[in-house]
Structure formats: structure tokens, C-alpha cells
Amino acid sequence: MFVASPPFLLFEYFRVPCASGTAVLPSDAASGLAAAGVVAPTFGRRSLRWVPEGAAGAGAVAGAFTLDGIPIFGSVLPDAAARSWLDGRRRGWRRSVPICDRNGTWVASVWTDDDGDVFLPFDPNEIIRRYWTERYLDFVGSPAGKWLRSAARRAYYRLRPLIARDVQMVARRWFSRIQSRSSFPRWPIETGLHDFFDFLFGLVSSLADEPVPMIAPWPQGYDWALVLTHDVETAAGYENIDLLCDIEINAAYRSSWNFVPQNGHRLHEDVIRSLHERGFEIGVHGLHHDGRDIAEIETRLPSIRRHAEEWQAVGFRSPATLRDWDAMPQLAFDYDSTYFDTSPYEPQPGGCCSWLPYMNEDLVELPTTLPQDHTLFEILGGLDEQLWLDKARFLRERGGMALVLTHPDYARNLHLVNAYTHLLREFADDATAWKPLPREVSAWWRARAASSLERAADGWRIVGPAADRGAVALAPREPGGRRG
């Protein structure tokens, strides 16, 4: 349906039919657009063009911007420089959508011409990747502030074994007041990345003469996903496993349990075996839970892998959700669930801003998308499930993944237990919700990524490992629209 050069990440991610190559793309040898990225309908004349990352030269400006109210991060070509790219075209180009800096000054534009071609003064692939990798943080806050927070975090984890638990909680609650001042990502819902997806889909839909097809994010028959996970960090948590298990079994759910192999208490093989036998999943939650598992990955990885094999674990979550984009694939797990979509209150604040899975090399990232229980009930003093329900309903409306993280370590907090019970009860009879284990989400996402769409006599059909379970959806034409 489309052809693109270089690859267009939006189409790769949502599995929109698109071939690679330049032979059938409109030529712009007479202008700077000869160096542009371009995507166009296979049999159409209009095209979407962009400035590939690194191709703009000295004229580009890097930073944080808003595109029609959508936050974007990366390099943009100001209007004066963009005109030099557009010179040589006979058709008149005009500014259509403003791109403003953090002060609200109009610095760049999306351009359109008389024939309906569109020019982006940035690389959409860069914008998407900066969200997923959290490298938008390069442009959020001051360098000095980032360095101080990083130094404070390292110092805290070195001293934490010497600090009484109640003192730790007082410090975290005090620090949460500072963290709450963060303006991006918004909490508990940040729509920036998905609004950007919708903006791009609106542009490419305007180029096509028919609705734009894609492979739906979830298996046929489901509109969204609800995934349950737990981190077990202490002996107290180990003793409270059945408390949360019973709530889930009674509501016909199953979950994943992530254990810390070496954290001062013994893990009994019969507990691991019992969870497996009852249909639960086991994952690895670092090695020591001392804040240094990722920083010391090379020395700790052999022990982490040994426990993963013993427990038949294919999933990982880093203790305290400390993470490094380049280091995570080295763990050699099938999936990771360390990233949040938005997480200002975590020891390492940020968030990937995605409520769908995505890939980090060969690692499937499953973002945690509901505020974790420790943040909601222990740090912020929450008393009920309302915030969980509001976020889960929003994700259902947007066709996302509601991935929950709770700890049996805090299961003696009756507010938490009651809230968790009500959350599961709310969606127990929701036939639109897929309720898989994390490993099942990862397997599906890999199958979907390895599949494609082919035109058939009666429409589009899925070819590849997702053919039996997948569904064809239509890309939204309006912001915030469901893909279906």
C-alpha cells in the first residue's frame, strides 16, 4: 500500500503494509528534498517527507518542542532553514502546523504544498525512539539537577542497609513532593507518544485513497490487555504470596511473580513449583535488590541467568526499576518489565510514555502502566482503587495494556488489598480484555512483529505467525481514536 525510504518506524511498529525502496518514489533532484526521507502510497502522487536524523547539518536545533500541542523531542529544522530544503519545487509550499519551543515561540513548521505533499522538519523515527529509550530526558530539566539526582540515588542505595525502614519512608515521602513538580511526563497519564502516533496517522491517511490497515495490537476478539505482576522483595512478602494469589484465583486471573534470588531470605523450591502448577509465571527481580544490579550487570549476570534457568523464568524486572537502555538486552531474557509509561515518583524518574509493548533490540519491553502499589499506597498515602480504575478505563478506551505491579510485601495494608480486589472484580467479566501472563504478551508481540498484511480479494489478510490469532484494524484518522 505504501513505499518508504528509509524505513518508516510508525509503519514497522503498527505493521502497516509498506515496501522499502526509492524506485517508485517521487523525485526531487532539483531541491534539498532529494536527501529527505519519504513515504508515499504505492500508486499515489502525494508524499510525506522528512529530514532524516543527522541530515540537517548546522541548521537544525535540538531540544524540547510542541507540535500542535504534542510534546516532541529531538532536532528540528527552523523555518528559514526549511525553506532552503524546499527551494526548487514549482508547487508553492506553505506553513501548516506550528512547532513551538518551550517558551511558546513558533520556531518551525510542518509544511504542505498545493498538491497535498507534506514536509516534516524533523525525523519522526527519532521522535519515537527518544520516547521509547527515555532519551527525551536529555532535554527535560537542567544537567546539574540530573547529576545531583543521580548522585543522590547512588548514595541512597549505598547507605540504605544502614537506614531504618521508617526513616527510609519519611525520606521517600518528602522527596515525592519535589518529584511531583515534574511537568513531563505527566502523571498518572501521559499521552504524548500516542498523540504523536495519531498525528502521523492523520498525515498518511490524507495521502491515501483508502483507510490505512494495520495488524491490531491484540489478538482477535480483544480490545485491550490487563496483565498482573508482582515483585517479592522480602521475607514478609514471601510469606504473603498466597494472600494475593487467592484474590486472583477467585477472580479467574493468573499473574507473574518476580523473585530476588539473593536478598537475605531463602526461596523454597516448593513455593516456586506450586506457583507453576497453579498456572502462575515466575520471573527474576535482579539479584540482590541493592540498587547495583544493572550497574554491575557483567559480574552479576551469570548468577541471574542461572536462577532464570532453574525457575524457567523468561521475564525480568530490575529492582527499584533502575534501568539502562543499552544494558537491558544484555540480560538475555525474552522480555523486560522495568519501564513505566510515566514514573515521576520512581528512584529513577522518567517513563517510556508507551502503553503498548515495544522492542529493545531482541528484548520485548512490557511497560508497567498502572501506578505501582508502593507509590500509590505507601508513598502517596492512597486509600482506595479509584486511580487504578480511572487509568485502567482510560487504557481500555485507548486499546492499551494495563500492566499492574503489586508487592505481597505490603499486603498487610488493607487499603491495598481491598483496592486490588476491587480492581480485579471490576474487569473480571470484561470480555474485551485479554488477561494473559506477561510471557504470553511477549510471545504474541513477537508473532505480530514477524507478520505482515497482504491484499486479498476480500480486503487484507495477515501472513505469518500471527495469522491464526491476529486481527486487521484500521489506523485512526482523528487524535485519540481507537485503532480498529
Q: When comparing pLDDT for 407 and 33, which is higher?
A: 407
* pLDDT mean over 246-252: 97
Q: Name the pTM for this structure.
A: 0.92
* pLDDT mean over 280-306: 95
Q: Which cell goes with 67?
A: 507540535
C-alpha distances in angstroms, 71 versus 74, 213, 399, 407? 10, 26, 21, 33
404-414 confidence digits (pLDDT tens): 999 999 998 99
Computed on alpha carbons and rounded to an integer, the radius of gyration of the chain in Å comes to 24
* pLDDT mean over 388-406: 98
Q: What is the DSSP letter of 212?
A: P
Chain-centre distance for alpha carbon 44: 33
Q: How confident is the model at residue 443, as a pLDDT?
A: 98
- Are the C-beta atoms of 483 and 474 separated by less than 8 Å? yes
Confidence of residue 476 (pLDDT cuts 50, 70, 90): confident
Confidence of residue 195 (pLDDT cuts 50, 70, 90): very high
* pLDDT mean over 26-31: 53
Q: Which cell goes with 60?
A: 537544525
- Are the C-beta atoms of 483 and 227 separated by less than 8 Å? no
Residue 335, helix vs strand vs coil? strand
Long-range pairs for 175-182 at CB < 8 Å and ≥24 separation? Answer: 176/345, 176/379, 176/380, 179/344, 179/345, 179/349, 180/344, 180/345, 182/141, 182/344, 182/349
Q: How confident is the model at residue 183, as a pLDDT?
A: 77
Q: How confident is the model at residue 32, as a pLDDT?
A: 59
Determine whether 327 is exposed, middle or buried from the number of CB atoms within 10 Å of its CB (0-12, 13-18, 19+): middle
Q: What is the DSSP letter of 398?
A: H
108-136 confidence digits (pLDDT tens): 999 999 989 999 999 999 999 999 999 99
Count of other CB atoms within 10 angstroms of residue 298: 9
C-alpha closest to that of 355 among 205, 213, 480, 446? 480
User: How many secondary structure helices (H) and strands (E) does the chain include?
Assistant: 14, 22
C-alpha closest to that of 392 among 417, 413, 351, 420? 420
- Is a pLDDT exceeding 70 seen at residue 300? yes
- Are the C-beta atoms of 483 and 475 separated by less than 8 Å? yes
d(CA 110, CA 99) in angstroms, rounded, equals 7
47-104 confidence digits (pLDDT tens): 999 999 988 777 899 999 999 999 999 999 999 999 888 875 556 899 999 999 999 9
Helix (H) or strand (E) holding 310: helix 297-311
- Are the C-beta atoms of 3 and 19 separated by less than 8 Å? yes
**First CA to last CA across the chain, in angstroms?**
18
Q: How confident is the model at residue 479, as a pLDDT?
A: 59
For cell 524486572, name the residue.
317
Complete DSSP assignment for 139-201: GSS-HHHHHHHHHHHHHHHHHGGGS-HHHHHHHHHHHHHHHTT--SS-SS---HHHHHHHHHH
E strands, 329-458, are 335-336, 358-360, 363-365, 401-406, 433-434, 452-456
260-273 confidence digits (pLDDT tens): 999 877 788 899 99
Determine whether 480 is exposed, middle or buried from the number of CB atoms within 10 Å of its CB (0-12, 13-18, 19+): exposed
- Are the C-beta atoms of 451 and 470 separated by less than 8 Å? yes
Count of other CB atoms within 10 angstroms of residue 271: 17
Q: Which cell goes with 414?
A: 488493607
342-386 confidence digits (pLDDT tens): 999 998 999 999 999 999 999 999 999 999 999 999 889 999 999
Q: How confident is the model at residue 334, as a pLDDT?
A: 98
What values do phi and psi take at 43, rounded to 5? Answer: -115, 25
d(CA 338, CA 322) in angstroms, rounded, equals 7
* pLDDT mean over 325-333: 97
Confidence of residue 484 (pLDDT cuts 50, 70, 90): very low
C-alpha closest to that of 212 among 18, 479, 398, 13? 18
d(CA 294, CA 291) in angstroms, rounded, equals 8
